[in-house]
Structure 1
Amino acid sequence: MREYQTGINRDENRDRFKITDQSDNTVRNRRHEGKMKILLKRASILIVLLIFSGCSVHSPLIKGQEVDLPDSYSSEKPVSSPPVGRWWEWLGDEKLNALMEEALQNNLDIAQAYERLQQSLAIVRTTNSARGPVLNIEGSGGRARKSGVTAETYTLSAATSFEIDLWNKLGSRTRAARLDALASEEDLRSLYISISAQVADLYFLAIEHRAQIELSDNTIKSYRDTLKKVESRYRHGLVPAIDLYQSRQNLSSARAQLPVFEQNLATTLNALSVLTGRFPDNEIGGNANELIDTPEFPAGIPSELLTKRPDIRSAWLRLNATDERIGAAIANRFPSFNLVGTYGGASTKVRNILDSPNILWNILLQAVQPVIDSGRRSAEVERTRAVFREKLAAYHKTVLNAFKEVEDSLIKNRSSEKRISMLKENMAASENSLRIALDRYIQGLTDYLPVLTGQLHNFTAKSRLLAAKRQLISDRIELARALGGEWTDEIMKEYLTDKKGSTYEH
């Protein structure tokens, strides 16, 4: 270099200096070519890493549906059923339809489940963000004294990093989070089905309580009429005092039943109000007091439960999410590769930070291979495998419970129908027995005991028949709930759109 600088000022050595200058250019070219080869090699390595990025080190443990269901239910023929849809509309009760819409829009349990779904979606975005690059702007400035010299230093730089997902670790975590979010959506669907069943059940329970109150009122009136007849016969000396006291006892017993039914009606309406998001309201649900005949819903075949029951779909999704986490835990034992880069400048003056002589930059490929972690990563793999086995057992149990619930509902429907038929016969017999006993008592052919017994039996028979009719409706509702359904898709879309103005893609 000194010769080159010196030669610039000497004419007599100009030719020799030209040769030296050409040699320096040749060296520079060779160095440049060497650097280019190194850069090409590094670029080739990066390209290979990116091409093979996402290679999984874990084979999925789930190959298909893990449960073989029977071909039919024990009490049903194996016939596929049409979609039930909004089953409560089959009942033809407009007040129930309006109450159901209110509950599905304003129920606070549904609102909480919706927010849990939003949390799951946020977790998906958080987890997926690890697969993208990170860019930070860093800056500093200040004055320092060193070796007796005081100077100002200012820096400004952009730092970026990107993890190459060579073993599909980040991809597995993202898929697991996405499957969890889908499971949360199925949980919300399950809650819709559950809330709809609760609303309908409480609605008809309130109707039963009103019918029981009406029955009690009519019974009290009947007992009063009987008491007047007994008092008249007692005043004429036709019957002993025991008949009068027994008649009054019967009337008092009937009156004592009334507050119980009124209390049950009030608590039922309070529960129904809370389901619709209201404060307790004793006017909710109208004033109907007659139980209707409800149709039976077709049960279909057991295999349809796998697609119609959201709780089964939720358990299946969580099982798959656990399988993905096994892959992430295994991949975490392999080397990780990160691309790290920095570009910026440093200067004693702020305005000169990004001038060409002050520019600083670097591009690095970092590789980290776990060597000793005291068995932490291996233990995590075993833990996730144990969680998978737990979720697999939970999935099997969910399917079995769903099958059991449908079977139980079918049996209850048959039993309630038979019981109602028998109770109707019992009520007719008790009415005839009471009528004959009362006629014979008025004619003086018998004492008051057959009348007393007949009145009690008749009231009990009518009350039990009302309860049985309501129980049959409850069994119908339980069957609709157990069968699941796809009617939640539309209302889910409406709810998600109304709440946030947008939905998310699966």
Structure 2
Amino acid sequence: MPRHALTLCAALLCGCTLAPDYQRPEAPVAERFPQGPAYQGDALAASPGQSWQQVFHDPVLRQLIDSALANNRDLRTAALNVEGYRAKYRIQRAELLPTLSTDAQGSRQYLPRGMTGTGQGAISSTYAATLGVSAYELDLFGRVRSLSDQALLTYLASEQAQRSTRLSLVASVASAYLTWRADQELLVLAQQTLDSDTRSLRLTRGQRRAGTVSALDQIQAQTSVDSTRAAVARYKREVAQDLNQLTLLVGAPVASDLAALPLADEQIAGLPAGLPSDLLQRRPDIVQAELQLRAANANIGAARAAFFPSISLTANAGSTSPALSGLFDAGSGTWLFQPQISLPIFTAGNLRASLDYARLQKDIEVAQYEKAIQGAFQEVADGLAARGTYQRQLQAQHDLVASNQRYYRLAEHRYRIGVDSSLTFLDAQRSLFTAQQGLISDRLAQLLAEVNLYAALGGGWQEDGITGQQVR
């Protein structure tokens, strides 16, 4: 047979595909991130992503993330889902190749004398052994191949879903840990303020007994103590709840007395944002959405192929004999070749509806893909705006705390020497406490914004990307 004829036969046996040519939809976002007073000028410098080990500086946080990646049940479920989709792909891929099977059977049957024609009953025996192919579909129009491609793309999309779960877990652990540390610092601040308020109350009571202050001054001092006591109780509750949330995310017990970096220290490395086009490769949810889009595109090919004839082959060869001892004797060989063709003629619109549904599913996946890009763009833009403004806000809050500390020291001195009333001193105490609370809260908000920006940029995409492992 000529060489080109062999090539043609091989191509026919492998099958073509009727899936539409895939074209990536245009990204429905601007080519650059927003710019303006809220954004830093260097935020658009392109740079490869960083892994979470490089991003988070606190060794305790890194240890907790390691533990979460090993123990978190949601991540474990995502990994098992990947293995499940991998198994489904292997099942679907197996249909591209014929399945060989060997069969052996035997039968003994008694026939009554009325059926034998001899006037006597008889026992007939038959034994057979065969090796062959059963109902192997020649994929001339690519139906099976399209379904295999769809299963492969769905499996790869599940890998990206696992990456999304992993990235979300890293960000959630970091956010929960930083919130826990902030509430711990707020609790310490509230306890220190309560001690200061209690000392002031004792001083006011002594002055009240001496007759140098009024009952109103003592009531105001008591009010300040009660207010701070309520704050201490609230922060104790929030610290306990934060630890419970962190324990759930980590999937293992977390000690309540971990030595960690102060919240004011450098907790998170700077994250260069890159360009919007980088997100198409960095963000696992965008990659997942595109893989699901491509799977829907392959499914159209399978729906189109269903309109064409389906050809299947059944063939076997073996041996048959009326006696088991003679099953493999000379002259007992047998073979069967049974091709079958099926052509849909009337399906009451079933095939057309299936094709329409496949096309609609693709349109839905296009919308989901575009939505994923728009959501990613918005999250990164928000992160850049937070980066550009929180630093200035934090500096202003630092200055406010410093001013209130000077105000408090001066008011305390003037109160003790009898120049000012306790009202001024209590106002200075409240202002300082509120400013210090605001500083811790603003620092936490800045750190959470950096964590969200890390997640919005796709995290450590070089480390967590598709490894290209072989699917067996």
* Fold shared, TM-score > 0.5 on shorter chain: yes
Q: Which residue of structure 1 lines up, in the alignment, with residue 297 of structure 2? A: 323
Q: How does 1:133-144 map to 2 (within 5 A)?
A: 133-144=98-109
2:236 maps to which residue?
A: 262
Q: Does residue 104 of structure 1 match 2:78?
A: no
Give the TM-score, by structure 1 length.
Answer: 0.84
For residues 331 and 163 of structure 2, the distance between their equivalents in structure 1, rounded to whole angstroms, comes to 63
1:66 aligned to 2:26? yes
| Whole-angstrom CA distance in 2 between matches of 1:45 and 1:307 | 42
- Between 129-138 and 119-128, the greater mean CA deviation after superposition: 129-138
What is residue 152 of structure 1 aligned with on the other side?
125
Displacement after TM superposition at 1:128 (Å): 0.6
- CA contact 2:60–2:260 (8 Å) conserved in 1: no
Kept in 2, the 8 Å contact 1:100–1:196? The answer is yes
The correspondence of residues 278-297 of structure 1 with structure 2, limited to 5 A, is 278-279=252-253, 281-283=254-256, 285-286=258-259, 289-293=262-266, 294-297=268-271
Which residue of structure 2 lines up, in the alignment, with residue 428 of structure 1?
402
Q: What are structure 2's unaligned runs of at least 5 residues?
A: 36-40, 116-120
User: What is the correspondence of 1:104-143 to structure 2 with a 5 Å cutoff?
Assistant: 104-143=69-108
Letter of the aligned partner of 1:292 in structure 2? D
Displacement of 1:155 after TM fit?
2.5
Paired residues of 2:147 and 2:299 also in contact (CA < 8 A): yes
CA distance in 2, matches of 1:286, 1:439: 36
Does the 8 Å CA contact 2:185/2:440 hold for their aligned counterparts?
A: yes
* 1:259-317, Cα deviation, whole Å (9 max, x unpaired): 211111111122222222214x3437545554323443111111111111111111011
Normalised by the size of structure 2, how large is the TM-score?
0.89
Q: Deviations over 1:111-166 (max 9, x none)?
A: 11110000111011000111111223333323212313222222322341322110
Counterpart residue type for residue 310 of structure 1: P
State the distance in 1 between where 2:231 and 2:44 align.
Answer: 46
Q: Deviations over 1:51-89 (max 9, x none)?
A: 323453525242235326433211356844222322453
Amino acid at match of 1:296: G
Distance 1:91 1:215 in 2: 25
Rg comparison, structure with higher value: 1
**Equivalent residue for 1:52?**
12
**Deviates further, 381-390 or 155-164:** 155-164
From 450, 457, 476, the equivalent of 2:424 is: 450
1:455-485 alpha-carbon deviations (Å, 9 max, x no partner): 2221111111101001101111111110014
- For residues 182-235 of structure 1, give each alpha carbon's deviation from its aligned partner in whole angstroms, at most 9, with x where no partner exists: 111111111221111111111211111111111011101111221122122112
Residue 249 of structure 1: which of 199, 210, 223 is its match?
Answer: 223
- Which of 200, 213, 224 aligns to 2:187? It is 213
For residues 79-478 of structure 1, the aligned pairs below 5 Å read 79-146=44-111, 147=115, 148-161=121-134, 162-279=136-253, 281-283=254-256, 285-286=258-259, 289-293=262-266, 294-478=268-452
- Using the TM superposition, give the Cα deviation of residue 108 of structure 1 relative to its aligned residue in structure 2, in angstroms: 1.7
Distance in 2, Cα, partners of 1:97 & 1:448: 48
Partner of 1:439, secondary structure, is helix
Distance across 1 between alignment mates of 2:270 and 2:167? 17
> What residue number does 2:38 align with?
none
Q: RMSD across aligned C-alpha pairs, in angstroms?
A: 2.6
| Whole-angstrom distance in 1 between the partners of 2:261 and 2:460 | 30
Q: Which amino acid aligns with 2:192?
A: N
Which secondary structure does the structure 2 equivalent of 1:63 belong to? coil
How far is the alpha carbon of 1:454 from its aligned partner?
Answer: 2.0
Shift in alpha-carbon separation, 1:46–1:358, aligned structure 2, 3 A: farther
Distance 2:151 2:225 in 1: 66
Seen in structure 2, the aligned counterparts of structure 1 residues 287 and 301 have a Cα distance that, compared at 3 Å, is closer
> By how many angstroms is 1:49 displaced?
5.2
Contact conserved, 1:184 with 1:314, CA < 8 A, in 2? yes
Distance 1:470 1:67 in 2: 34
Bigger relative contact order, structure 1 or 2, given CA contacts below 8 A and separation 6+?
2
Cα 1:230–1:486 change in 2 (3 A) is: closer
Gaps of 5+ in 1: 1-39, 497-502
CA displacement at 1:487 relative to structure 2: 4.3
Q: Secondary structure at the match of 1:357?
A: coil
Contact 2:17 2:146 in 1 (8 A): no
- SS of 1:291's equivalent in the other structure is coil
Alignment deviations for residues 404-441 of structure 1 (CA, whole Å, 9 cap, x no partner): 00001111222322322222232223223333333333
Instruction: Say whether the 8 Å CA contact 1:312–1:399 is kept in structure 2.
Output: yes
2:57 counterpart letter in structure 1: G
Matched positions, count = 455
In structure 2, do the counterparts of structure 1 residues 388 and 374 end up closer, same or farther at CA, with 3 Å as the change threshold? same
Change (3 A) 1:429 1:180: same
The match for 1:504 is 470
- The answer as to whether partners of 2:67 and 2:252 remain within 8 angstroms in 1 is no
